[in-house]
Amino acid sequence: MSDKTIIVTGASDGIGAAAARALNSAGNRVVVVGRSPEKTRAVATELGVDYHLADFSELEQVRALADTLREKYPRIDVLANNAGGIMGEREVTADGFEKTLQINHLAPFLLTTLLLDRLAESDATVINTASIANVLFGKINIDDLNAEEKYSPNLAYGNAKLANILFTRELHNRYAAEGISAAAFHPGIVNTSFASGSTSPLRLLYQTIAGKLLLTPAKGADTLVWLASTRPGNGWTSGEYYSKRKPARKNPQANDDVLAGQLWERSLRMVDAD
């Protein structure tokens, strides 16, 4: 049994809901965060846990979520930044950012940075759900984070998932000494609805016979649950990227500490969190 307080975003279905179920059954105090009121409430009711709503396409909702979490939970042992998805045609949010970047990177970056003092006080672990797309499609241009010069659904998603790994690396570099651990992971190719609104060819994988061969959400959540249930030194190292509980191959850019630092500073300015 455990008594950690664990926040899981993107927990209304798929990997997030599966992770919430597993962590709750282990005796943790799980808090689910989602965009859909009905689906998020259903998961929370099933598990008998707290839930909070936030649409990551609006950064003001992320700020409000951070305020609520800070007020309600004096200790946060794990923050699992799991919310995300691949989009279709290029969209710009009300905040002025390309939607894939905002939902997958800027929103969890903002949530994490707004909670840094609470996370440090708690010796917390921050877990970021990345993807093999960082290798397949990612090629970050630090001067075109908003994908104004070059855009495709796959490139934007690959860059956002690469940003998750760089954020993990830089979070470790900056805050490990203050007690914060960080890890990113690839859940595998999981049978969820995350690509349902996308024009990416990836959506076809989920809509055809191949979809029946994909991992279940519970299997996809396994590495997240493992990272949330253990501490660095128990099979994993803070700042690194994992798949199937083992170090995973990543984009060469993911090892670039200069780029990681630049991304952090650019992200701070974009979300106005400094």
* Residues annotated as part of the active site: 157
Q: Where are the alpha helices (DSSP H) in the chain?
A: 14-25, 37-47, 59-72, 99-101, 107-114, 116-121, 133-136, 153-175, 202-207, 217-220, 222-229, 257-271
SS3 content of the chain, % helix, strand, coil (to 5): 50, 15, 40
Residue type present at position 90: R
Q: Specify the residue for token string 């253990």.
A: 230
Three-state SS at 31? strand
Cα angle value 142/154/201 (rounded, 5°): 175
For 98, which DSSP code? B
Residue 175: both structure tokens together: 């805050």
